[in-house]
């Protein structure tokens, strides 16, 4: 058998679903092992690779399979996710705090999987693969527990506790809920809260509908939407880390999205610190608000005829 067929045989023996025993999965395994066609399996090594410049580049250079750039998500969603779930690979082992959608996201073989894979073709293969399968459940539980430790906790005003995926962006969203809202929108209701790995963590369609807001699947909502019932104000908050303040273009988009809302709209760009705010200061739209988590009791108003009110 050639290397690709051998890799498929390994995936089958390690109990991967049939959908993950295809050519793409086999080539991904070979890339993670760093093995070329004529290399022995005992030379396999664990190396951290990104999807595009790591895995896809490896299989193109050494196996002649040139996948289209937009196939990156297929590798991630239909191969690597399952490798992680099966305990064969780890996600971001070199930097576990990376957010889900980071361009630096990477994958590497786990040590138990590597030990089994290196034995392929030898007398120890049957024993090593059986040992991996016997410990796989506990291995996955350990990795899931470690990931849970890195989740970003957030507590809503009603006491509900949620956990957001790791990352700076979600950390800013958490402080918007826990620190911005009590100060500037006391008693407000969270109508929408996104997450880097789960788009609609909170989506209150009923209350949005009652306010005359009808959303399509293509609408790009702000990161946090808060409704202040007494004042009938809707706070549209963008959590800003590397990008995403409320720009003039974004104001036009949001105005269109919420054009039928029977409420006043307030646009807020939320930053983790003054340094991040300084990077975006020239892009922020006039007549919007800026809140910096580093100075939670204060707000910066970008001109206009009133402070903290609908446009």
| pTM of the complete model | 0.56
- Reported as a single tens digit per residue, the pLDDT across 161-172 is 777 777 788 889
Structural domains of the chain in order of their starting residue, each with its CATH number: 3-150 (1.10.10.1820), 153-301 (3.40.1350.80)
**Average pLDDT score over residue span 29-45:** 96
Q: pLDDT at position 184, please?
A: 93
Residue 216 has pLDDT above 90, yes or no: no
pLDDT of the residue at 91: 92
179, 296 contact by CB (below 8 A):
yes
Q: What is the pLDDT of residue 262?
A: 84
- Where helices occur in the chain by DSSP H, the ranges are 3-13, 23-33, 57-63, 72-75, 81-85, 111-118, 125-150, 168-175, 181-184, 205-210, 248-257, 274-280
Report the relative pairing of strands 202-203 and 224-228 from DSSP bridges.
Answer: unpaired
Per-residue pLDDT band at 56 (split at 50, 70, 90): very high
Q: What is the rounded radius of gyration, in angstroms, for the C-alpha atoms of the chain?
A: 24
**pLDDT for 33 beyond 70:** yes
**Confidence class for position 195, pLDDT limits 50, 70, 90:** confident
- pLDDT more than 90, % of the chain: 57
Closest residue by Cα to residue 107 from 34, 35, 180: 34
What number is the average pLDDT over the span 20-39?
96
Query: pLDDT value at position 11?
Result: 93
Lowest mean pLDDT among 99-103, 108-112, 254-258, 265-269: 99-103
Question: Which among 94, 81, 91, 79 has a CA at the least distance from the CA of 143?
Answer: 91
Q: What is the pLDDT of residue 273?
A: 94
CA angle 242, 90, 118 (to 5 degrees): 145
* Edge-first strand listing for the sheet containing 299-301: 202-203, 189-193, 224-228, 233-239, 264-271, 289-292, 299-301
On average, the pLDDT of the chain sits at 87
Residue 139 above 50 pLDDT?
no
Q: For residues 242 and 271, what is the distance between their CA atoms, to the nearest angstrom? A: 10
Across the range 13-32, mean pLDDT stands at: 92
By three-state DSSP, how is residue 189 classified? strand
């Amino acid at each position: 058998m050639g290397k690709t067929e051998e890799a498929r045989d390994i995936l089958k023996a390690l109990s991967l679903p049939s959908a993950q025993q295809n050519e793409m999965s086999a080539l991904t395994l070979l890339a993670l092992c760093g093995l070329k066609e004529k290399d022995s399996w005992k030379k396999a090594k664990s190396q951290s690779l990104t999807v595009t410049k790591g895995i896809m580049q490896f299989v193109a250079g050494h196996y002649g399979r040139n996948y289209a750039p937009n196939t990156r998500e297929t590798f991630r969603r239909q191969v690597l996710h399952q490798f992680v779930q099966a305990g064969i690979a780890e996600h971001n082992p070199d930097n576990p705090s990376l957010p889900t959608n980071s361009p630096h996201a990477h994958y590497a073989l786990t040590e138990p999987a590597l030990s089994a894979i290196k034995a392929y073709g030898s007398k120890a293969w049957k024993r090593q693969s059986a040992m991996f399968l016997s410990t796989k459940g506990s291995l996955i539980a350990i990795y899931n527990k470690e990931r849970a430790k890195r989740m970003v906790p957030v507590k809503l005003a009603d006491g509900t506790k949620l956990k957001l995926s790791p990352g700076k962006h979600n950390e800013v969203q958490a402080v918007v809920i826990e620190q911005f809202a009590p100060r500037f929108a006391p008693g407000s209701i969270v109508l929408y809260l996104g997450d880097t790995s789960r788009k609609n963590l909170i989506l209150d369609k009923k209350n949005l509908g009652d306010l005359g807001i009808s959303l399509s699947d293509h609408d790009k909502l702000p990161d946090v939407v808060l409704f202040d019932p007494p004042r009938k104000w809707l706070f549209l908050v963008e959590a800003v880390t590397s990008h995403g303040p409320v720009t003039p273009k974004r104001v036009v988009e949001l105005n269109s999205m919420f054009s039928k809302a029977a409420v006043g709209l307030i646009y807020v760009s939320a930053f983790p610190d003054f340094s991040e705010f300084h990077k975006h200061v020239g892009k922020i739209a006039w007549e919007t608000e800026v809140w910096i988590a580093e100075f939670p009791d204060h707000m910066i108003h970008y001109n206009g005829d009133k402070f903290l009110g609908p446009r």
